[in-house]
C-alpha cells in the first residue's frame, strides 16, 4: 500500500494563499541568517571595544551586554549612528569586516520567485538601519524581488509599535485582511497581530547556529520550504523549473 507523505509542517496548511495579495517580510532572522547579527553584536563588537579600551573580550562583554539589553526593542537599538556615537566605533565599517557571514536562509529564493510568479506584492519591512539594508542587499542581491523596501527608521518608529503599522498602511496601501507577515521577533509578531494582519507567521529557526524554538500563539515555520502551498506550487515542478532557469543552487549562491 502506498504510504501517505505528511507535510513537514502542518501549519503551512493554515495559510490560504488564494486570499493573500501582499507579502510583508522581515529581513534579519527571517530572510537572512541571524547568525551574522548575533555574531556581530555578541562577539565582534565586544572584540573591537576590548581592543579600543585595552580590555579582555569577556570584560568588554560584561560592560556592553547590559547596555545592549537596556536598548532592545527601541528604534535606536537598530540605529548604527546611535551605536557609533555611544561606543565611538565605526559600526558600518565593522559590519563590512564580517560581511561574509551574511547569508540567505534556505528556500528563500524559491519562495520569492514563486511569490513573483503568482503576482503577489512583496515588501521588505525591517527595523534595520538603511546602511545595514544597503550592505545586506549588496551581498545578497535580493532587492529586485521587492516592490519596495521599508525601514522603520523612515517612520521614526519601530515595528513593535502600532504607529508603525498605521504609517506602513498609509504608505503602501495594503489590505491587512489580504496580507501575510513573516518575522522572528515575538514582540513584532504580537504587534502585527494586534494591528490586524490576517496571517502572521513566526520563524522558529532564525539562526542556522541556534536550535529551533517554537513561538507560541503563531503559525511557525522553520524554513520557507514549509510555506509552499499544495495549491500554490508543487515542489517537484519547482525543482525542474529551477534546473532550467537557475543552474546555481541556493546553497551555492549563499557562499558567493
Ligand atoms: Mg528579525
Domain residues of the chain, as ranges?
Answer: 15-33+102-254, 36-100
Extract the C-alpha cell encoding 190.
504580537
State the distance from the centre of ligand 1 to the C-alpha of 144, rounded, in angstroms. 20
Tell me, in angstroms, the distance from the centre of ligand 1 to residue 217's CA: 17
* Residue 123: exposure state from Cβ atoms within 10 A (0-12, 13-18, ≥19): buried
pLDDT, residue 88, reads 95
Rounded to the nearest 5°, which phi and psi values hold at 124? Answer: -85, 125
**245 C-alpha to ligand 1 centroid (Å):** 30
Position 11 scores a pLDDT of 54
CA–CA–CA angle 136, 159, 132 (5° rounding) = 20
Give me ligand 1 centre to Cα 103, in Å.
Answer: 14
- The DSSP output letter for 79 is -
Measured in Å, residue 85 CA sits from the centre of ligand 1 at: 24
Distance 244 CA to ligand 1 centre (A): 32
- What are the angstrom distances between the C-alpha of 223 and each of 30, 117, 149, 251? 9, 20, 22, 14
Question: What is the torsional sign of CA 51, 57, 58, 60?
Answer: positive
CA of 190 to the centre of ligand 1 (A): 13
**Helix (H/G/I), strand (E/B), else coil: 149:** strand
- Partners of residue 183 on adjacent β-strands: 202
Instruction: Quote the pLDDT of residue 13.
Output: 56
Kindly give the confidence (pLDDT) of every residue in the chain, 256 residues in length, as a single tens digit, with 9 standing for 90 and above: 333 333 444 455 578 888 999 999 999 999 999 999 999 999 999 999 999 999 999 999 999 999 999 888 777 888 888 999 999 999 989 999 999 999 999 999 999 999 999 999 999 999 999 999 999 999 999 999 999 999 999 999 999 999 999 999 999 999 999 999 999 999 999 999 999 999 999 999 999 999 999 999 999 999 999 786 545 544 444 554 444 444 333 333 322 2
Radius of gyration over alpha carbons of the chain, in Å?
19
C-alpha 176/C-alpha 173 separation (Å) is: 9
Residue position matching grid coordinates 569577556:
58
Q: Which residues pair with 118 in a beta bridge?
A: none
Q: 15-33+102-254, what's its fold?
A: Rossmann fold (3.40.50)
Instruction: Determine the Cα–Cα distance for residues 180 and 17; give it in Å rounded to an integer.
Output: 9
Question: E-strand spans in the chain?
Answer: 22-25, 121-126, 148-151, 179-183, 199-203, 219-221
200 CA to centre of ligand 1 in angstroms? 14
- pLDDT value of position 7: 41
Residue 112 burial (10 A CB sphere; 0-12, 13-18, 19+): buried
Amino acid at each position: 500500500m502506498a504510504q501517505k507523505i505528511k507535510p513537514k509542517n502542518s501549519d503551512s496548511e493554515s495559510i490560504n494563499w488564494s486570499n493573500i495579495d501582499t507579502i510583508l517580510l522581515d529581513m534579519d532572522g527571517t530572510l537572512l541568517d541571524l547568525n551574522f547579527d548575533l555574531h556581530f553584536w555578541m562577539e565582534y563588537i565586544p572584540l573591537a571595544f576590548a581592543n579600543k579600551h585595552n580590555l579582555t573580550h569577556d570584560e568588554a562583554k560584561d560592560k556592553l551586554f547590559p547596555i545592549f539589553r537596556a536598548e532592545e526593542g527601541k528604534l535606536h537599538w537598530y540605529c548604527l549612528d546611535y551605536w557609533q556615537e555611544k561606543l565611538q566605533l565605526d559600526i558600518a565599517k565593522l559590519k563590512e569586516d564580517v560581511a561574509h557571514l551574511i547569508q540567505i536562509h534556505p528556500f528563500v529564493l524559491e519562495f520569492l520567485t514563486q511569490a513573483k510568479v503568482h503576482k503577489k506584492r512583496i515588501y521588505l519591512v525591517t527595523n534595520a538601519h538603511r546602511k545595514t539594508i544597503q550592505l545586506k542587499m549588496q551581498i545578497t542581491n535580493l532587492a529586485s524581488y521587492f516592490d519596495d523596501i521599508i525601514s522603520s527608521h523612515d517612520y521614526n518608529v519601530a515595528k513593535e509599535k502600532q504607529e508603525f503599522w498605521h504609517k506602513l498602511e498609509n504608505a503602501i496601501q495594503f489590505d491587512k485582511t489580504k496580507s501575510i507577515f513573516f518575522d522572528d521577533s515575538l514582540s513584532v509578531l504580537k504587534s502585527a497581530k494586534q494591528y490586524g494582519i490576517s496571517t502572521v507567521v513566526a520563524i522558529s529557526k532564525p539562526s542556522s547556529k541556534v536550535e529551533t524554538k517554537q513561538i507560541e500563539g503563531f503559525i511557525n515555520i522553520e524554513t520557507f520550504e514549509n510555506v509552499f502551498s499544495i495549491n500554490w506550487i508543487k515542489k517537484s515542478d519547482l525543482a525542474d523549473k529551477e534546473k532550467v532557469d537557475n543552474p546555481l543552487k541556493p546553497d551555492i549562491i549563499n557562499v558567493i
